[in-house]
Amino acid sequence: MRIDDFDSSKPLVLKLGGSLLDLWNLGDLLLQFGQGRRILIVPGGGVAADTVRQLDVCGLLKAEQSHWMAIEAMSFNAGLLRRTLVGLSAADGLELTPWRWPEGVPLVLDPAGWLLGSGCAAAAQIPASWDATSDSIAAIVAAAIGVESLILGKSCEPCSMSMADLAAGGQVDACFPGFAGRLRAGWCNFRAPVPKVVCLQVETGQGDQ
């Protein structure tokens, strides 16, 4: 696991894709990733969110219902991570004080609980559509708590280093370039033989949301 380009002295947010939950060595990778670092994990919705999307496409849910059920899917996966992987800890309010995060002990955020509680102002920024999914929510979390670095943990290599190209290619959601434009963002394919973080590029004019 290589994240050389990101300052180990500064906290960072890791958006962990829901597609990684079945990765056999995920726990070990997360501990390697967090070694000597202060990290907050924002889990994606994975299969549960995909089910919500299918129900939404079929017209069985209203937009606001789909929006919050997808966020609740992220929280379900947060609980799954904490209960099945050794060495992780619940954020439980520590997300608001990044300088107090423990080194080497990745914290896991409950996204629904945060957005309905201390992050309620940030929640208002998220459109109730599939244009803003867990990638954008992780960027919103990072900006709201004052963390400069965000890494997207994915199951594949990026099609481009450009955030705009990634959005156009469907590898991040449509709103992500706007929400992440002021952050130092990276991408990590956790399924690679040797996972390595690569820095993403932001185009001029992004980051205005």
Domains of the chain: 12-199 (3.40.1160.10)
Q: What is the pTM of this model?
A: 0.94
Nearest 10 degrees: Cα torsion 102, 107, 111, 116 = -40
Cβ-contact 76, 110 below 8 angstroms = no
Amino acid letter, 63: A
Sequence-distant (6+) residues with CB within 8 A of 77 are 18, 21, 43, 44, 45, 46, 48
Give the whole-angstrom CA distance, residue 194 versus residue 190.
8
Helix 46-57 / helix 63-84 crossing angle, nearest 10 deg: 160
Question: Residue 206: which pLDDT band, with cuts at 50, 70 and 90?
Answer: low
Average pLDDT, the chain: 93
Q: Where are the strands (E) in the chain, listed by range?
A: 12-16, 39-43, 89-90, 107-108, 149-154, 184-189, 197-199
Q: Show the tokens assigned to 40.
A: 């907050």
The residue written with tokens 């962990």 in the block is: 16
Per residue in 130-160, pLDDT (tens digit) is: 999 999 999 999 999 999 999 999 999 999 9
- Averaged over 85-107, what is the pLDDT? 95
Cβ-contact 91, 108 below 8 angstroms = yes
The confidence score (pLDDT) of residue 22 equals: 95
SS3 breakdown of the chain: % helix, strand, coil, rounded to 5?
40, 15, 45
- Averaged over 39-51, what is the pLDDT? 97
DSSP code at position 85: S
Per residue in 161-198, pLDDT (tens digit) is: 999 999 999 999 999 999 999 999 999 999 999 999 99
Question: Residue 16: which pLDDT band, with cuts at 50, 70 and 90?
Answer: very high
